[in-house]
Structure 1
């Protein structure tokens, strides 16, 4: 009803707040809005006066500190408006005081269920309004402070996360660069050893890929397969320590010369040994063990069966096949058929039977690698 807000304590001294708040008032009676507006301005607040929820809705944002909401409105009653406000993103927690002439317990419960924080009866008592608004505005200040802190914290976390990601990306890029440099150095060193033996870089590519193929078919994890791929080119790196007169001799070696030749396994392990770099540790294992034989007749340690490291057993199959099918100072290249016959005869004596069977079973892929890296 028009003019139904009757103000008590008209002569009371009003207390002006230090920090003005934006108070949204919704009431379909203009005279009530004028009274509320004057009261809020006297209290030092900024009133935002609207006659309906439709008018108020676009004004409801995070800058609104409190809503004074009339209950009895013709289009949309205060209970419905309160429920709508509680569903609006960004302002759902704004304090709401219901201004109503309804005094029954049921009406007050309905107001609370609709989302009102408090209610005040008409006629409005100035002291009561100031007190009720004061407590809710303090609550809103606390909520806003928490939100600001959360926003600042989230921004700080985002900035630090971004900085950390950038740092990690830089570290990873540096690690990739360092690893690439290590691998290139290792491959060049391996190529130097093979070149001294009149072998080629293509031999390294073929042999390492044969090894990786076997490792994958044997079920090794991808990381180990990659280690075998990168480390196997170092299998003969110890040949750097073998005199050319022995290494390049076109005739059969004497027993003494053969003993010197066999030392390339030990030399290779020494070159690669005592490293903290996993790739070099795997290279050391391969260099030392790739000439061991399944029956114990290999060198340098005469290991038997599975006492021979798996990497060495894998490399033995790959290295012998490529050696048989490649030209050497003391022989011409054998055909694949002849080479496979020779290796088949060594099943269970020279080679781990299971690994040799895997090699034969996937020989189509072996030939693809062979064709891909033909000696230039």
Structure 2
């Protein structure tokens, strides 16, 4: 056969040579023909180097009948998609439902009529072609969706990174503070998920929380240098101005969300919640809104503990670094006052992880 022969290949299976000859004569002008004299030979040919596009299969054969051959073809992934047309004598009492249950797509009765055989074969090959086209289109669509999803995720990551870099350039705290707090937030979220009752903490949402945590102080870009970079403790009036960074940060991210559409499904929703709410307190004494309890978004409650812990163990111009044990004592004291009790419990369950994160991303002036 020519290597350029693009005709479909048919496998004719029958234990009677005359029947093979009759079908071959009808079909050989339009199709390439393979033949098999029994079930075992049929299975070998179907799984060989040239996989047939369709099988014409006699039902009544010795050793292995056509029903069993069909079942075995359909159970093998390499041949399962090959359409099978059963060929049966009109005098035979055949249970057609058994044939369809075995995986056949059609029946042709003997003595065969050329026009019927050609029409049935052509119809099934066209159906098979359309099935393959649809499968290929689905594969292409799946690939495009995966590529688009990866592109969107990359765009989201770059957007958050760009915003975080902007925040970092205006903040007198170190980049390692940003890295530590985002790992604290991720560790707390994973522990809360283990504790249960937090269906929103899926893998994707925890990843978004992790990426968004560096934006907690983005509002500081709106704070005057004289206050933001002051080498000492702020006075009362300066502190009031500094406190506005939470509202400024939340508002800035909200404006970005409006351009994206629904803020409740925006990938920036956690960034907005973190920036706006990380200074809220469980008892309602925080700022900027004085939210209390679960009215504070979970993202803000997680960031509140992470931010305070890191501030406590870090050296500032106005204070020495606290030890982990001192910081832990103050967090416990703030349970149900400053902090969500469940978040404090999560911290206590994984406090060694916090110590490890602090050590891994330490500043030269950070206590261990």
Which range is displaced more, 278-287 or 171-180?
A: 171-180
Q: Is the 8 A contact 2:282 2:338 kept in 1?
A: yes
1:332/1:279 Cα in 2 relative to 1: closer, same or farther (>3 Å)? farther
RMSD: 4.2
Q: Name 2:196's counterpart in structure 1.
A: none
Match of 2:342 in 1: 354
Given candidates 141, 149, 152, the residue that maps to 2:118 is 141
**What is the CA–CA distance in structure 2 between the aligned matches of 1:273 and 1:309, rounded to whole Å?**
15
Return 5+ residue gaps in structure 1 as ranges.
Answer: 1-21, 47-52, 70-77, 99-107, 120-131
- Paired residues, what number? 301
Which residue does the alignment assign to 1:260?
241
* Aligned position for 2:134: 157
Give yes or no for the alignment of 1:329 onto 2:317: yes
After TM superposition, list the pairs within 5 Å mapping 1:19-58 onto structure 2. 26=16
Return the offset for 1:81. 5.9
Match of 1:202? 176
> Which residue does 1:307 correspond to in 2?
295
| Structure 2 counterpart of 1:240 | 221
1:291 aligns with 2:265: no
User: 1:360: how far off?
Assistant: 1.9
Residue ranges of structure 2 left out of the alignment (5+ in a row) = 1-11, 30-36, 47-51, 71-81, 97-106, 194-200
* Deviation of the 1:80 alpha carbon: 5.1
Distance between the aligned counterparts of 1:27 and 1:283, measured in 2? 76
> Residue deviations 1:193-233, cap 9 Å, x none?
4xx32x11111111111111111211232222222211111
Q: Structure 2 CA distance, aligned partners of 1:356 and 1:150?
A: 62
What's 2:354 paired with? 366
- Bigger Rg, structure 1 or 2: 1
**TM-score, normalising length: structure 2:** 0.68
Q: How far is 1:92 from its partner?
A: 6.7
How far apart are the structure 1 equivalents of 2:54 and 2:306? 77
Does the C-alpha gap of structure 1 residues 169 and 342 become closer, same or farther in structure 2, counting only changes over 3 Å? closer
Which SS does the other structure have where 1:218 is aligned? helix
Report the counterpart of residue 212 of structure 1 in structure 2.
186
Following TM superposition, by how much is the alpha carbon of 1:147 offset from its aligned partner in structure 2, in angstroms? 1.4
- Mark the CA change 1:187 to 1:146 in structure 2 (over 3 Å): closer, same or farther: same
